[in-house]
Chains A and B, each alone.
Chain A
Amino acid sequence: MHLNLRRCLRHSTMHLSAVESRPLRGSIVREVGEYESRMLQRYFAHLAKCEKPEILDIGPISGNNISVFLSLGAKLSVCDFILRLTNKMPGQELEKALGILDYRDYRFDGIHVWDIPDHLETWLLTDLVKTWFALLKPNGLLVMMAGPSSTPQPYLHIARLVRGTTVQLQEIRAKELAYFHRSNRDIEIVMRPLEQRTSYLCTNGEREFLFGRP
C-alpha cells in the first residue's frame, strides 16, 4: 500500500477509532422514521431478474434485512465492514479492515452500502469504490444513502426493511464518528467509475442513490 495511503489511513483512524471503546454493538439509539423506498423497489426488481442473485451487505448488520434478502432466494454475503473499522481494528491495523472485502471479482449482482460513505474520507471512499466496482457483475447495482444536510450526523444508520420496501431508519451510537457531507455532484464524482442510475430525495431529507456497473 502506498505511503500516502498509509498516512491517510492513520489520519482517518483518529476519527474512526474514537468509538473503539464504545459499546457500539446493538446500541440502537432511536428510530428516526420510516419511508417507502423507490430505490429499493427498483433494486428488488433488478434482483428478481437475476437467477440466484448474489448480494453483499457491508452493514451495519440488520437481522431483519438478512431475512428479507434471503427470502428473495439470494445468496447473501454479509460483512460488518463499518463496525470492524470502528470497533475492532486498532489504528495500525486499519489496512486489515480494508482487506476484509476479499471476495472474488464479478461476484455480486447487488451491494448495499447504506450510509457508510457519509463517514469515510474521500480518498478512502475512492479506494473502496474501486473495490465495489471490481466485486460487481456487469450491470450489477449498488445501493447507497446519504444524510440530508451539512449538519454533522454523529450516528450510523441501519436502514431496516420493515414491510417490503418500507425502510425504517435506526441510529446506532457512534458519537465521534467522522461525517463528510457531500453534494449530489460530489457523490457522483467520487463514485466513479460506477454510473449513477437514479437518485431520490425523500421528504425526511434522506437521499438515496442507485449506482450500476456499466
Chain B
Amino acid sequence: MTKAERFTRWVQDLVARLRQEIVRGRGQEGNTAVVSQEPTVIGKELQMLKMGNRDEKDAGNDFRHGRENSSAGARSRSSEETVIGENISIEGTVLADEDIIIEGRMKGTIETKSHCITIGPKGHIEADVDAQDVVISGMMAGNIIARNKVQINKEADFTGRITAKRIAIEDGAYIKATIELEKEEKQKAQASEPTISEQSAEPQSAPEPSSMPPA
C-alpha cells in the first residue's frame, strides 16, 4: 500500500470516527482530535505533527497534505490560507507554509515563518507562535516571534512575550505582555536622530505646567 493510499484510508477512518463522535455528543470539550460538524479544515501546505495523543511516527498522523486531501473536505478561503474553524480543537505542533486563520482552539506550537497567523475573535490558543505577521483578535496565551509585525486588536486578550520588528496595539485590549522590538538596519541608522524629549521642543499651544509648591 502506498503512502498516499494509507493516508487516504486514514482520513476516511478519521472522518468516520468524527461522525460517530458528533452523533454521540457534539464537540465535547477536551477532545484533542479534530472535532467538527464539518469536514476538517486543513490546507494543502499544512503539516500537523503529534495531533491528539497519537504517536507522531504513526503513518496516519505524519502526513503532508496534498491534493488528495480535498477528498476529505479540506476547506480553504483561498489557495494560500488555512482556516481552523470554530468547532475545531488541535493539540500539538502545526508547521505551515501558508497563512493560517484560527477560529477554534489550539494548544502547542505554530510555525509558519514566512506567513501570517490570524487569531479570530472566537479563536482561543495557548501556543508559541513563530510567523511573519501575527494578528490577534481572540484569546491567546503564549510567546510570539514575528519576523515582521504583530497587531493586537481591542477585542484581544493576550498574555505572553512578543518579539517583533513592528507592533500595533489598539487601545483597550487586555494585555499582559513583555514586548521587545528587533531593530532593523534602517532603525539602527536612525538611532542618531533626536530623542523623544528633544522632539517635544516643538511649539505647543497647550499651557505649560508650573512647579508645585511643597505640600
Contacts and interface: CB of A to CB of B under 8 A. Distances in A.
Interface stretch (B104-112, B118-126, B200-208): B200-208
A70 B167 contact: yes
Interface in B164-190: 167-181, 183
Interface residues of B, number: 38
B35 to A, nearest CB: 28
Interface stretch (B47-55, B80-88, B92-100, B191-199): B191-199
Contacts of A35: 206-209
Contacts of B202: 163-164
A185 B213 CA distance: 11
In terms of DSSP, what is the predominant structure of the interface of chain A? mixed
Contacts of B204: 34, 36, 163, 166
Contact of B209 (A45, A78, A100, A200): A200
A66 B167 contact: yes
Question: Max chain A CB contacts within 10 Å: which of B174, B210, B213?
Answer: B174
Contacts of A149: none
A35 B205 CA distance: 8
A165 B196 contact: yes
Contacts of A185: 215
Nearest to B204: A36
A207 B211 CA distance: 10
B215 A184 contact: yes
B65 interface: no
Interface stretch (A80-88, A118-126, A136-144): A80-88
A62 B206 CA distance: 21
Given A71-B196, A163-B199, A166-B204, A63 B215 contact: no
Interface residues of A, number: 61
Interface string B137-156: 00000000000000010110
B169 A184 contact: no
Contact of B206 (A36, A183, A198): A36
B212 interface: yes
Contacts of A187: 215
Contacts of A100: 176
Contacts of B180: 75-76
A157 to B, nearest CB: 12
B200 A79 contact: no
B175 A79 contact: yes
B214 to A, nearest CB: 8
Interface of B: 152, 154-155, 167-181, 183, 195-202, 204, 206-215
Interface of A: 24-28, 33-41, 44-45, 48, 60-64, 66-68, 70-73, 75-80, 83-84, 87-88, 100, 158, 161, 163-166, 172, 183-185, 187-188, 198-204, 207-208
Interface pairs A-B: 7 shortest CB-CB:
A164-B200, A26-B172, A184-B215, A63-B169, A203-B207, A25-B172, A201-B212
